[in-house]
Structure 1
Amino acid sequence: MSAEDVLVVSGGNPLVGEITVRGAKNLVPKAMVAAVLGDDPSTLSNVPRIRDVEIVRNLLELHGVTVRDGLSSDSLVLDPTRVERAAVADIEVHAGASRIPILLCGPLLHRLGRAFIPDLGGCRIGDRPINFHLDALRQFGAVVEKRPEGLLLSAPQGLSGTRISLPYPSVGTTEQVLLTAVRASGATELLNAAVEPEIIDLICVLQKMGAIINLDTDRTIRIEGVSRLSGYVHDALPDRMEAASWACAALATGGDVFVRNARQTDLMTFLNVFRRVGGEFSVTRDGIRFWHPGSKLASIALETDVHPGFMTDWQQPLVVALTQSTGLSIVHETVYENRLGFTSALVDLGAQIQAYSECLGPTPCRFGRGNFVHSAVISGPSPLHGADLTVPDLRGGFSYMIAALAASGRSTVRGVGIFRRGYENFEAKLESLGASVSG
């Protein structure tokens, strides 16, 4: 592990100040992929400078897409007019670095008639199988061939609209269907679709390109395939995961943080929970201010769920704040089966957390019959102390940082390089809030 992957944190001080969040990590790379579907250049603004964007940029350039910086520092111009096949060896360079290649399949099948998928990476927080993606692509008419280095997909008869019913409202599979159906011949009906704000923003991107997409109130999306799409000009929605993480950091450290660009409409479910715990917030036209009012924090019972429920990416940073609340809090994770594994490190810092494989919530979830640790009871308030920590994944890693900042004494956090995947200028933001961190 290189020195730049290690941060030493001197905690115990409140975070105070202002930071800015840019476009959502869960939207921007997908909007970049959508540009491949167009016959004209696209311009995407509010783009964060994060590793995931760099990976997708490299993948697109390997396939002949010209990607250049736009007129503003946070914009990209993507020109797909010369899309071409990429060498398997070149694509393999990105194997294990991102899960985005699976989403390139539909656009590349439309443009080139074939697509290659290397081994896929991403945070190890659950099974996250790609079988949903492959099953959907097969229903559109794709042929999947397994090879030692990955999967080769082709569409000898082209892609045609279909009817797909998801067993679970998977965000990734919904994105796959949207990116494939918009140029497939005929109509596509997707039942039990994900409807997260990032999905809606992707639909907005595709509609700007000329797609015809209808979203019903029962999680059904209907797409009428078109033969041609143009480019788009789009300003990406801000990252609600990052905004909520900084809010939890303010609460856990007894601080006061203004998150510029945070939007109330994207955070309504989170804001309700934040208020129930005892945090205060104020919404302005430029963002949201989050702060600890100085009184005791309250314990809560909480279940994660797909949108519009409490999102799983908010759970981990909030658990850190709940270690400082009074009483017993219960968290039931229903989206990813392994997302509570990070709590063992919080125990090393002094938190009182007991994890269970039972469903500790009113909603029976798909993990209830398995041996997955997906519920937790947090007892607080617990004084936290410094410790040595190793980042497990992107969101869990941010939660470790929050815990280290809230703890008294010094902590060493290893593996912080993963933050560059999803957080722009992470260390600079910490320093601007008064955090004591050093490499």
Structure 2
Amino acid sequence: MRTRLLTAAALLALGACSKPHFAGEEQYGPNPRLPKPQQFLFPPMGIANPTGFKANEAPTAAPGFQVTAFARDLNFPRRVLPLPNGDVIVAESGGPGLEHVLRPKDIIFNLVIGGAHASVKPGNRILLLRDSNGDGVADQKFVLVPKMASPFGLAVIGSTLYVGATDALWAFPFTAGATSVGQGRIVTSLPGGPIDHHWTKDVVASPDGSKLYVGVGSNSNIVENGLEAEHNRAAILEVDPKNGASRLFATGLRNPNGLQFYPGSNTLFAVINERDELGNNLVPDYLTSVKDGAHYGWPWSYYGQHVDVRVHPQRPDMVAKAIKPDYALGPHTAALGLTFVNGGMMPAQFQGGAFVGEHGSWDRTVFYGYQVVFVPFAGGKPTGKPMPFLTGFIDGKGNARGRPVGVAMDRAGALLVADDVGQAIWRVTPAGGAPAGGAPAARPPAR
């Protein structure tokens, strides 16, 4: 055990002094070329030391765009939900605390990640932020729900606010323009608890408001805790908000987040965090449309029908059912946020495309992610190369000044980015307040 601990410490040190890096071009896009899997005594690890931004600092936007702080001094903002009246609902959240202590190496991971934020505790509450004078900065803050169990997903249907907590989907009476909510009720319980490997429960309403869709991540990497621990997990659930009845909508999705419907359609999209411990460049996290009744491979296969030989017993029948995702985002980006551009102030070349919040890798010796990328769409499908849009979250010393999570378009069509290390919500607009010319630069090649 002592040898393994020393190995882990050495790998952590290597990651901490590495510079941000992009995987080779074959690692992302509609048709990624995947390397062969690798087996390790201890997997690669590299975690950017979180330091936060100074008061006069901000991330760096693509050329032609500018960044301002919509809100600062928050306590782990994870999700943002802009409302039609301009208000923004925010979920401040941290995990239940024991989500990474299932295996010896996870104890190390939890100590590093948990100890890094000792000075700032997650709010685990729901806020409403208001920009009362229209200058792009929130000047009023109201606490809608003062305490919840790791809240994450947010949705509003009519006069009800829905919140996906780690162990339940909640509903609160809420009127647009109000600064408080009514007494909450549980719509349905969700798989969770004090040991919840993937605790984020994202939520989106169907376009007609008749259903809610909830992402529930796996409780393991590759079912090392047994399949019984994965009941109704690694899946997206469809929930009837009126009576709480639920069913499995899609399965085999290791950790689905960023649930969004493509504008003008009934097509559900999500970003998925894939499995670890197969090497620096496996497995790519991905962006995909999610089909009713479809299976996407986990745990028996990855990125379609690539068999994971570590999983026992093998299930060739399930591998044969596995659907290939639409678009690889790159290995271990930890994509957690997704939003589509549909009108507003963004230039024409961004319309119909998607912004993805990449929280950043830990299962690589060299950092990957830690940025917001733009993914172009054509014909309702992702295509081309992901383009860095909001960067500068890692400094030249390998410190994480911020880590983007949730992304959303506000009422004016500006991009809002929740940053749970920078403790801020960033607002990105075309420079000068007018649509900027030119698309952001392409992702740089591997070094």
Q: TM-score, normalised by structure 1?
A: 0.27
Larger-gyration structure (1/2): 1
Q: Give the structure-2-normalised TM-score.
A: 0.27
More strand by share: 2
Structure whose residues are more often helix by fraction: 1
